[in-house]
Every structure is written in C-alpha cells, then in structure tokens.
Homo-oligomer: A and B are copies of this chain.
Amino acid sequence: MVAMTMPRRRPGRPRRDQSRDTREAVLAAATALFAQRGFDAVGLREVAAAAGVDVATVSHHTGTKAQLYDACFARVFAAERQALEAAAEHARAALDAGPAAALRALHDLVDVFVDFLEDRPETTALWLRRWLEPHRHAELDQRYAAPLYRLVTDLLTAAAASGALVEPTPHVSVRSLVWAVHGHVVALAASDGSPARERREFRAFVHRFLDGLYAAAGS
C-alpha cells in the first residue's frame, strides 16, 4: 500500500503536498475496499487502517462516508473515460479511411477497453455496485455511462451510415458488449485456469462479434 512507503504521519501544519498525499492514500484504500466488499460492508475505521491513518482523518479529508464513496467512483471513472476517449478519437479518425481501417480501429478501441478493465478489475466491481443502486442509477448514467456509450454508439452509427456495417440497434450491441466484458473480468477474477488463455479466447470472441456486425453488411 501507499501508506506503507510513506513516513508515519504526525500532527502539525502539513509539509508541502502532505494533504494531497494523504487524501490520495485514503481514496486508494477506500476504492479497493469498496470494490471488494461494497459500501455498507466497509467501515470507515477499516479504510483508515488500510490507509494508515485515524478515522477522524478520513472524515477530515473526504467528509461524509457517502462523499468518500462518490469520490472513489469519480476517481476511477475519470481514468476510464480518459483512456476510452483517446482511443475513440483514434477510431473516429479512421472512419473515413474505408471499412477495413474502420474495423481495425474498432478492434483497437475494444482492446483498449478490455485491457483497461483487465488491469483494473475494481472498475468492473464499482460499475456493478453502482448499477445495483437504483436511486443513484439515473445520475450515474448521465454523468459517466451515457457519454461513453454515446461515444461508441455514435461510432457505430457513423460506420453504418457509411455503409461499412449494418446494426439496427447500436446501443443494444454496445451495452451487450460492455456487459460481456464485465462478465469476462468477473470470470477472470474467479478463474482457477489459465488467465492468459481466457484473455486470448475472450479477445478472439469479441473480435468475431465485431466482424459479425461487419459481415452482416455484406460488403
């Protein structure tokens, strides 16, 4: 953990950036715990212990428990959004270079997505937990999910408009693809087999899925 490598904190006016470091350590510890066991099962004292600080320090930096949870969420999904938007921009640029290039760009985009979630499984855990909170679902959807979905959906729609593929309901395909990836990550975490093989197989499956969308266009 980050807290282990840092010198034990002591009271007093902060060194430069001490506040930011502590906040980051708390957020990292809280994110891991919330992803693993959920909002209600994690106590603030536990978060504090994992971050190497006192409970009151957690509250001091992140306010209420719900605010801490939201901060963890925002932190993780900002990273995801950043990774995806760069890749999507790339794909959008390739759209004008013909169906073959567009298909290759889509493969790359999906690979970036799969890589990201494989590397940070806590992202999947947080997504699933948020999806299970109906009252926060709407706000979550608008702030995080919708922009990402629109990104890819627009991509597919544009590809369809250029005649590169046929997909009557792009948002359904995208959503199904996203959930399939989450399922893959969950299965990967619980797997006792060869992770490398499972990753390869899933990637191949996703690519076949994308190719299928293109094959339907009969180009």
| Interface size in chain A (residues, C-beta < 8 A) | 40
A182 within 8 A of B: yes
Contacts of A175 in B (CB 8 A): 180, 183-184, 187
Complex interface bits, A18-47 against B, C-beta within 8 A gives 1, otherwise 0: 000000000000000000101111000000
Complex partner residue of A176 from B38, B134, B169, B184, CB under 8 angstroms: B184
Which of A6-14, A95-103, A198-206 makes up part of the contact surface?
A198-206
Contacts of A41 in B (CB 8 A): 39-40
A178 within 8 A of B: yes
Main secondary structure of the interface of A (DSSP, over half): helix
Copies in the complex: 2
Report which A residues bind B (CB closer than 8 A): 36, 38-41, 125, 128-129, 131-132, 134, 137-138, 141, 168-169, 172-173, 175-180, 182-184, 186-187, 189-190, 201-202, 204-205, 208-209, 212, 215-216
User: What are 15 of the A-B contact pairs (CB < 8 Å)?
Assistant: A38-B40, A40-B40, A125-B132, A141-B190, A169-B205, A172-B202, A173-B205, A175-B183, A176-B184, A177-B180, A179-B182, A180-B180, A209-B212, A212-B216, A215-B215
